Amino acid sequence: MNVVFLSPNYPPEMQQFVRGLAEVGATVLGVGDSPPQGLAPIVKQSLTDYLQVPSIMDEADVIARVEAWVRGRTIDRVETNWEPLTLTAAAMRERWGVPGMTRDAVMGFRDKVLMRERLAAAGIRVPKSFRVRNKREAWAAAEQCGWPVIFKPIAGAGSADTWRSDNPREFERTLSLTQHIEEASVEEFITGDEYTYETISVDAEPVVEGCTRYYPNVLEARKNEWISPIIFSIRDMQSPDLQGGIAMGREVLKALGMGTGFSHMEWFRTRSGEAVFGEIACRSPGACMVDLMNFTMDADLFREWARIVCWHAYEGPTERRWNAGIVFKRAIGQGRIKRFAGLDTFRRKYGPYIAREDFLPIGAQRRDWTQTFLGDGHLVVRHKEHDRALALAMEACTNLHVYAG
Please give the backbone phi and psi of residue 222, each rounded to the nearest 5 degrees, phi first.
-75, -20
Higher pLDDT, 157 or 397: 397
For residue range 284-309, list pLDDT tens digits in order. 999 999 999 999 999 999 999 999 99
What's the rounded mean pLDDT across residues 213-237?
A: 95
C-beta neighbour count of 236 within 10 angstroms: 12
Range 2-100 has CATH code 3.30.450.70: no
| Percentage of the residues of the chain whose pLDDT score is greater than 70 | 99
Cβ neighbours of residue 51 closer than 8 Å, sequence gap 6 or more: 29, 30, 31, 32, 65, 66, 69
> What is the per-residue pLDDT for 222?
87
Domain range annotation of the chain:
2-100, 128-188, 191-319, 322-405
Per-residue model confidence as pLDDT tens digits over 339-398? 999 999 999 999 999 999 999 999 999 999 988 999 999 999 999 999 999 999 999 999
The third-level CATH classification (topology) of the domain covering 191-319 is: D-amino Acid Aminotransferase; Chain A, domain 1 (3.30.470)
- The CATH architecture to which 128-188 belongs is 2-Layer Sandwich (3.30)
pLDDT at 130 over 80: yes
164 vs 241 pLDDT, higher one: 241
241 three-state secondary structure: helix
- Average pLDDT value for residue range 236-256: 97
What pLDDT, on a 0 to 100 scale, did the predictor assign at position 223?
85
**In the predicted structure, residue 201 carries a pLDDT above the cut 90:** yes
DSSP 398: H
pLDDT value at position 155? 72
- Least confident interval from 35-39, 129-133, 226-230, 330-334: 129-133
Give the per-residue pLDDT at 159: 63
pLDDT at 161 over 90: no
Confidence of residue 110 (pLDDT cuts 50, 70, 90): very high
- Bond before 216 cis per omega within 30 degrees: yes
Q: Quick check: helix, strand or coil at residue 236?
A: coil
CB count in 10 Å sphere of residue 254: 13
* SS3 at position 191: coil
Averaged confidence pLDDT in the chain? 95
How many C-beta atoms lie closer than 10 Å to residue 253's C-beta? Answer: 22
Q: Among 70-84, 144-158, 168-182, which stretch is predicted with the lowest mean pLDDT?
A: 144-158
Q: Which long-range contacts (CB under 8 A, 24 or more apart) does 108-112 make?
A: 108/256, 108/257, 109/256, 109/258, 109/263, 109/280, 109/281, 109/282, 110/83, 110/86, 110/155, 110/281, 111/154, 111/155, 112/152, 112/154, 112/155, 112/156, 112/185, 112/187, 112/279
Residue 257 gets the label, from left (phi > 0), alpha (psi -120 to 50) or beta, of: left
284: exposed, middle or buried (C-beta count within 10 Å: 0-12, 13-18, 19+)?
Answer: buried
Direct distance between the N- and C-terminal alpha carbons of the chain, in angstroms, rounded to an integer:
51
pLDDT on residue 212 = 98
The confidence band for 158, taking pLDDT boundaries of 50, 70 and 90, is low
The answer to whether residues 315 and 304 touch, using CB atoms and an 8 Å cutoff, is yes
Distance between CA atoms of residues 68 and 326, nearest Å: 43
Are 128-188 and 191-319 in the same CATH fold?
Answer: no
User: CA neighbours within 13 Å on the CB side: how many for 344?
Assistant: 3
pLDDT tens digits for range 116-125 = 999 999 999 8
How confident is the model at residue 147, as a pLDDT? 93
Residue 43 predicted with pLDDT over 70: yes
Question: Do residues 264 and 292 lie in contact, with contact meaning Cβ atoms separated by under 8 Å?
Answer: no
pLDDT for 33 equals 98
Tell me the residue type at 178: T
Which pLDDT score is estimated for 278?
A: 94
Query: Do 3 and 310 touch, CB atoms closer than 8 A?
Result: yes
The pLDDT value given to residue 157: 64
Q: Of 7, 124, 81, which Cα lies nearest the Cα of 263? A: 81
